[in-house]
Amino acid sequence: MSKLMLALITFLGGAAATIQPSINARLARHIGVIESSSVSFLVGTLVLVVTAYAFSPGDYRGLQNAAWWQLTGGFLGALFVAITTFAVPRIGTTAAMALIISAQLIMGMVLDHFGMFGMRGISIDLRRIIGAAVLGLGVWLILKR
């Protein structure tokens, strides 16, 4: 897969992740925040299971070889969906996404720096620090009223 295609797919994922909390928040008006989050996960799970069986060469039987902590992604995803479903109607999509993106960037730099979870290590350098600081300034400007 080309770098351009990977970048486009990732960009679309970011757009979807930005739209999702607003949709979930609207549903939450009818059924509640946690309930809306669980419906979101249920629909997503169904779509992914069908897609996996139809198109993926993977095999769920490999779960027996996974470490316990490798299964915590679902918990973290549920936490993310519930928090964004709660936050977006209260602080707005832009403010929520600005905070999320800054937290993701900072945590990403830490994960990269230490090569956590078996990923390739990428040291924190001055350019990355400046990039995070510029993003931090952007977050501050977005949140300042």
Q: List, for residues 9-66, the tens digit of each pLDDT value.
A: 999 999 999 999 999 999 999 999 999 999 999 999 999 999 999 999 999 999 999 9
Domain ranges of the chain: 3-143
Rounded to 5°, angle at Cα 76 from 74 and 81: 95
Q: Find all residues with CB under 8 Å of 115, minimum gap 6, and list them.
A: 121, 122
For residues 121 and 115, the answer to whether their CB atoms sit within 8 Å is yes
Q: What is d(CA 25, CA 81) in angstroms, rounded to the nearest whole number?
A: 10
Model confidence band, residue 143 (pLDDT cutoffs 50, 70, 90) = confident
Q: How does pLDDT run across 61-108, given as a tens digit for each residue?
A: 999 999 999 999 999 999 999 999 999 999 999 999 999 988 999 999
Buried/exposed 12-26: b ≥16 CB within 10 Å, e otherwise: eeeeebbebbbebbe
Structure-block tokens of residue 96: 């929520």
In angstroms, rounded to a whole number, what is the distance separating the alpha carbons of residues 112 and 122?
5
Rounded Cα distance between 86 and 28, Å, is 9
